[in-house]
């Protein structure tokens, strides 16, 4: 007798029957990316301790609006210029934020991945809060990013 039934073979140096292939993980499933929370500035975890996933287009929108242009070494073209907007002239902040958001998301709008539905700006004492409502045209889901 061998060292076990199938794990190491039923014969010395092993009879190892060929088992049917297991289903491949992710085959036919939509692509996923890791979900990032801009408020906490960290990756999101599920209740079971695994990393939460999100559609790659949604992740790219979050990264484009959440980080300054050039700050992600692996993707230097993703980001925004919102932090460079002067906060001394509140009357022009909305137009400048609108321009910066469109510039950050322009390649995704041009490629037909998203549409920008709404851009809201709330001036604050030390800056401003931006909220962008967009539709992921691949999943047909509307989402909101606040920063």
Higher pLDDT, 5 or 128: 128
Higher pLDDT, 7 or 117: 117
The pTM assigned to this predicted structure is 0.76
Q: Residue 19: its pLDDT value, please?
A: 65
From the list 57, 61, 55, 54, the residue with the least C-alpha distance to 80 is 61
β-bridge partners, 118: 133
pLDDT in tens, 77-93: 999 999 998 876 767 88
- Exposure class string for 68-96: b at 16+ Cβ within 10 A, else e: ebeeeeeeeebbbebeebeeeeeeebbeb
pLDDT in tens, 10-69: 555 556 666 666 555 555 566 689 999 998 999 999 998 889 999 999 999 999 999 999
Q: Give dist(CA 36, CA 83) in Å, integer.
A: 20
Q: Give dist(CA 121, CA 119) in Å, integer.
A: 7
Ordered domains of the chain (ranges, CATH): 56-146 (3.10.450.40)
Q: Residue 1: its pLDDT value, please?
A: 47
Q: Residue 73: its pLDDT value, please?
A: 92
């Amino acid at each position: 007798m061998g060292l076990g039934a199938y794990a190491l073979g039923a014969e010395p140096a092993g009879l190892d029957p060929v088992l049917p292939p297991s289903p491949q993980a992710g085959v036919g499933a939509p692509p996923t990316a890791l979900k990032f929370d801009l408020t906490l500035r960290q990756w999101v975890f599920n209740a079971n301790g695994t990393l939460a996933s999100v559609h790659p287009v949604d992740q790219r929108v979050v990264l484009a609006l959440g980080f300054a242009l050039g700050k992600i070494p692996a993707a230097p073209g993703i980001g925004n210029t919102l932090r460079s907007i002067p906060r001394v002239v509140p009357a022009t902040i909305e137009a400048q934020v609108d321009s910066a958001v469109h510039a950050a998301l322009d390649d995704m709008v041009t490629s037909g991945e998203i549409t920008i539905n709404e851009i809201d700006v709330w001036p604050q004492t030390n800056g401003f809060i931006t909220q962008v409502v967009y539709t992921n045209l691949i999943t047909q889901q509307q989402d909101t990013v606040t920063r």
